[in-house]
Amino acid sequence: MLSQKPRTIFLLRLLQLNIYNLLVERLGEFELTPIQYMVLSILASRGSWSTAELARRFHIAPQSMNEVVATLRRKKLIERRESAEHRRILHIRLTASGTRLLEKCDKAVDRIERTAFKEFSAEEIALFRALMNRALVKFAAREQRPRTAGALRVLDGSMSSAL
């Protein structure tokens, strides 16, 4: 069954590409990229994160996340504060304007989801989400095993939280 044509992974990738392109288009109206939107979303779900935690969560290089954070700071959508425990760690939080923009973006993303999944019943969507989360948990468990230098980074947080 897994080797059916077209392969399940191929179909999943096509769906992801189509949805990503819609996100680029719709979020562009708010002058945000999908990664910037996802950072704002995750900050809204769990008050504050460090840049390093965000980089691990999204599987990108810390330098790349620094660029995302710098752009969001310039737009005054986030703010950074010193950690009470470790002065070298800066925690990132949404600003009031970041929260307001995220609410607008969430409405646009809700429309994308409604369009993408309009042929699915509520039960089918719940099942689809549960199956994706189950698959993602497998990857999270795999990534949390000890690794050598240069290997994949550990995924922070619950797979079902935020995004």
| CA-based end-to-end distance of the chain | 29
Segment 37-74, tens digit of pLDDT: 999 999 999 878 889 889 998 999 999 999 999 999 99
Radius of gyration over alpha carbons of the chain, in Å? 17
Instruction: Write down the pLDDT at residue 83.
Output: 67
pTM for the model stands at 0.79
State the Cα–Cα distance between residues 44 and 58, nearest whole angstrom.
16
List Cα–Cα distances, 11 to 5, 16, 56, 113, 125, in angstroms.
Answer: 10, 9, 26, 17, 16
Q: How far, in whole angstroms, is CA 95 from its chain's centroid?
A: 19
Q: Is the pLDDT of residue 79 over 80?
A: yes
Domains and CATH numbers, the chain: 8-119 (1.10.10.10)
